[in-house]
Amino acid sequence: MADVALDHGGSAEHPETTTGLPHTKLAMWLFLGSECLLFGALISTYVLYRGRAGPPPSPNDVFDIPYTSVSSFVLLASSLTMVLALAAAQRLDHGQMRLWLLCTAMLGMTFVGGQVYEFTSFFNEGLSLETNLFGTTFFVLTGFHGVHVTVGILMLLSLVGMSWTGRLPTDQSFPIEMVGLYWHFVDVVWIVIFTVVYLIPTPSPGGPGGG
C-alpha cells in the first residue's frame, strides 16, 4: 500500500521500483530485521539472568512443558492456516481466504488465551514481575511477544473485515502476503523463545551468576 508518486508503468498498487520489489515488501523485511534486534535484546537479557540465585519460584517450579508445547503447536498451526489463506487469495478465492484468515486469527487468540491462563497460574504460584529476576525477564519477554501476536490478530481481523466490506481489491493478494510475513515472523520468534526459555534446562541457582 505504498503511496508513492507514479509516473508511468506499473499499477496503482505496484508502481515500478528500481529493484522490482514492491516498497511495502522491502519495508516489511527491514522492519522485521529491526524486530529481530528487539527480540534479540530481550532474549539476551533473559539468558543473561537465567539461573541466578534468588527467591522462588524458579522456572522448574512453574513450567508445564506439555501445556506450553500444545499452545506452541497451536501457534505453529496458525502459520499453516496463514499460508492457506494466502494461497486462497492468490487463487482469487476471497471466500476461502476469509475463512482461513479467521482460522489464523482464532488460533492466534487461542495461543494468547493459553498464555493468559499460563501466566495467571504462574502468578497464583507466586511469580510476578516483581518477585525475582526470572519473573522480571520472563514476563517482559513473553509479554512483548504476546503484544506482537495481538497486533497481528488485529491485522488479520482487519483484513477479514476489509475483504467482507469490499475494501480489499479482489485481484491481488499483496496485503495478505504482507500480514503473512509479519505473522510468520512472530511465530518464528516464539519458536526461539520456547526453545531458549522453556526447553533448554535452567541451571540450578547459585551457578555461574553474578560477578
Using the rule CB under 8 A, which residue among 70, 92, 116, 129 binds another protein? 129
Q: Which is nearer to another protein, 1 or 171 (CB)?
A: 1
Q: Does residue 192 bind another protein (CB under 8 A)?
A: no
Nearest to 1 by CA among 183, 205, 176, 203: 176
Transcribe 150-183 into DSSP letters: HHHHHHHHHHHHHHHTT-S-TT--HHHHHHHHHH
Q: Cβ atoms within 10 A of the Cβ of 113, count?
A: 13
In the complex with another protein, the residue whose CB is nearer, 8 or 95, is 8
Q: Which is nearer to another protein, 110 or 150 (CB)?
A: 150
Rounded CA-CA distance 35/21 in Å is: 21
DSSP string covering 64-125 = -HHHHHHHHHHHHHHHHHHHHHHHHHHTT-HHHHHHHHHHHHHHHHHHHHHHHHHHHHHHHT
Using the rule CB under 8 A, is 147 a contact of another protein?
no
Q: Which is nearer to another protein, 158 or 202 (CB)?
A: 158
- Closest residue by Cα to residue 191 from 31, 36, 44, 76: 76
- Judge contact between 128 and 57, C-beta under 8 A: no
Least distance (Å) from another protein to the CB of residue 70? 28
Kindly write out the interface string for residues 149-178 of this chain, putting x where it contacts another protein by CB under 8 A and - elsewhere.
---------x---x----x-----------
Helix (H, G, I), strand (E, B) or coil at 203: coil
Which residue in 62, 75, 127, 133 binds another protein (CB under 8 A)? 133
Smallest gap from Cβ 14 to another protein, in A, equals: 11
Should residue 59 be labelled a site residue for another protein when binding is judged by CB under 8 A?
A: no
Contact 142, 111 (CB under 8 A): no
Residue 203 C-alpha from the chain's centroid: 28
Candidates 51-59, 65-73, 105-113, 181-189: pick the segment binding another protein (CB under 8 A).
Answer: 51-59
Which segment (40-48, 58-66, 101-109, 195-203) binds another protein by CB under 8 A?
A: 40-48
| Residues found near another protein in the complex (CB under 8 A) | 1-9, 12, 17-19, 21, 23, 26-27, 30-31, 33-35, 37-38, 40-42, 45, 48-49, 52-55, 129-130, 132-133, 136-137, 140, 144, 158, 162, 167, 209-211
